[in-house]
Amino acid sequence: MDKAKQTYLNLRASVDQLMREKDYDIALKKIEKALQNYPEDRSFIFQKAEALFLTGDLKKSYDITFNLLKESPNDIKVLKLCASQQYLFNNLEVNIKLYERILKISPKDFNSYIGITNTLIHLNKIEEAIYYSKKGLKIKNDSSELYNNLIASLILKKEFLEAFEKVKAIEDINPLSQIPPSYGVYLNEQLKENYQFKYLTEPYDYIREYNFNNENNDFMKNFNDFILDLPMEWEPKYKTTSNGSQTDSDLFHTYKDNSEVKTLINFIIKCVEEYREFYKKTEDLYIKKFPNQYSLSAWAVNLKSSGYQASHNHSSSWISGVFYLKVPKNLNEDEGNIKFSKHGYNFPKNSFVNSNKIIEAREGGLVMFPSSLYHETIPFKSDEDRISIAFDIQSI
Ligand SMILES: [Fe+2]
């Protein structure tokens, strides 16, 4: 092989590796350099669009993708990137058209069934979401994402019995799936069933409170001052924070040398140990398969008057929690407290059935609960800030 060819192949391999390792900034620099020598190379041009998209430069990424699509309108990779861009531009109808085109060219592309059903649910086009999730499941019959979208759609259509059958089907495929402890628990309540799921059946039993002992030091004050100095984003996009701001989710990693951060990490680790010990007699897989190796991510949330967190769960984590650093004084009953429930934010509600459990937000208090459990903050009125540290534990 001649030298020039070898140089090209080495460069190609190195960019591919950086993209696989998600080092998009470095990949981008390398691609720019490669394009100076190979300006017509379609692979590098596409990777530039991809890296720009993944580093958040949507506009530039779109311009490149648009030109690529003009040259080859049936290129699946380009169409998929274009669909993702249109989703973020909130052009959801265009996103659907693009997925339809992909599925016409490549009817077995099951990732596109996931993409199109996500968007259809977002647009409340439930019948179509059911059609595409069932079609996708014929191609990949153990896809957790497609089961998730099918069950969510059936619930929104109040087809509870069929949804329940699908929950049992995914449990057979993957007993650790987060679908039974979220949708399954909801359906148990709606259908007045008491079906025992292998992962867990009664999530309220797994809410446990702890208290940080602050008698002999200024931990709370110092930590509060530290958090107030951090950069925070007001009502971040795709998050549930309303009338409040939050840091990004690598708080514990970025500030791992801060002494208050270290203290809180140690406290959380101790609470996790106690939590596992406390529940050790259960047969539920939530505890029996509790990860021995886990990663801990955390973010601070500062809510202002009328602020709240809308109902949500953290379905990609195992156990979640919140530590209360600052709670306004003189709140009315339940204001600012955390409310757990078995229904997600947009599920059909029947006030005769829907249960909830409220836990008081206390300064120095820490609450842990299964990540699959829906939770929200009850809005409050006060001139004081309400500051909490939320955290997630994920299996590694
Ligand atoms: Fe949360």
Q: pLDDT, tens digit, for every residue of 61-107?
A: 999 999 999 999 999 999 999 999 999 999 999 999 999 999 999 99
- Whether 334 maps to a domain, the answer reads yes
* Same-domain status, 107 and 38: yes
Distance of CA 313 from the midpoint of ligand 1 (Å): 6
Distance of CA 366 from the midpoint of ligand 1 (Å): 13
Distance of CA 211 from the midpoint of ligand 1 (Å): 19
Boundary residue ending a domain (167, 191, 226)? 167
Host H or E run for residue 234: strand 233-234
Of 178, 167, 151, the closest CA to residue 392 belongs to 178
Boundary residue ending a domain (146, 167, 188)? 167
* Same-domain status, 391 and 244: yes
* Same-domain status, 209 and 130: no
Residue 268: what pLDDT?
Answer: 97
User: What is residue 322's three-state secondary structure?
Assistant: strand
Sheet holding 319-326: strands in order across? 208-211, 365-370, 319-326, 386-395, 294-309, 241-246, 233-234
Per-residue tokens: 221: 């004050």
Q: pLDDT, tens digit, for every residue of 115-174?
A: 999 999 999 999 999 999 999 999 999 999 999 999 999 999 999 999 999 999 999 999
- Whether 353 maps to a domain, the answer reads yes
* Same-domain status, 54 and 121: yes
- Whether 187 maps to a domain, the answer reads no
* Percent of the chain predicted with pLDDT > 70: 98
Residue 332 per-residue DSSP state: P
Residue 304 per-residue DSSP state: E
Residue 395: what pLDDT?
Answer: 93
DSSP 286-342: HHHT--SSEEEEEEEEEEEEEEEE-SB--TT-SEEEEEEEE--SSPPTTTT-EEEES
Per-residue tokens: 391: 């955290």
Kindly indicate the confidence band of residue 238, based on its pLDDT and cuts at 50, 70 and 90. Answer: low
* Same-domain status, 160 and 238: no
Residue 235: what pLDDT?
Answer: 77
Distance of CA 310 from the midpoint of ligand 1 (Å): 9
* Same-domain status, 239 and 298: yes
- Whether 145 maps to a domain, the answer reads yes
- Whether 15 maps to a domain, the answer reads yes
CATH number at residue 222: 2.60.120.620
- Whether 197 maps to a domain, the answer reads no
Distance of CA 41 from the midpoint of ligand 1 (Å): 45
Distance of CA 241 from the midpoint of ligand 1 (Å): 9
Distance of CA 391 from the midpoint of ligand 1 (Å): 8
Distance of CA 254 from the midpoint of ligand 1 (Å): 20
Distance of CA 12 from the midpoint of ligand 1 (Å): 41
- Structural domain harbouring 136: 3-167
* Same-domain status, 158 and 211: no
Kindly indicate the confidence band of residue 351, based on its pLDDT and cuts at 50, 70 and 90. Answer: low
- Whether 58 maps to a domain, the answer reads yes
Residue 81's alpha-carbon distances to 61, 189, 245, 365, in angstroms, are 9, 40, 31, 44
Largest interatomic CA distance in the chain: 78
Residue 140 per-residue DSSP state: S
Tell me what the pLDDT averaged over the chain comes to.
93
- Whether 345 maps to a domain, the answer reads yes
Distance of CA 59 from the midpoint of ligand 1 (Å): 31
DSSP 172-227: HH-TT-SHIIIIIHHHHHHTT-----SS-S-GGGG-EEEE---TTS-HHHHHHHHH
* Same-domain status, 211 and 138: no
Degrees to nearest 5, angle at CA 313 with 311 and 317: 160
* Same-domain status, 219 and 366: yes
Residue 248 per-residue DSSP state: -
Distance of CA 375 from the midpoint of ligand 1 (Å): 6
Residue 211: what pLDDT?
Answer: 95
Residue 242: what pLDDT?
Answer: 73
Distance of CA 232 from the midpoint of ligand 1 (Å): 17
CATH number at residue 128: 1.25.40.10
* Same-domain status, 247 and 365: yes
* Same-domain status, 54 and 116: yes
Per-residue tokens: 36: 């100076």
Kindly indicate the confidence band of residue 213, based on its pLDDT and cuts at 50, 70 and 90. Answer: confident
Q: How many domains does the chain have?
A: 2
* Same-domain status, 129 and 232: no
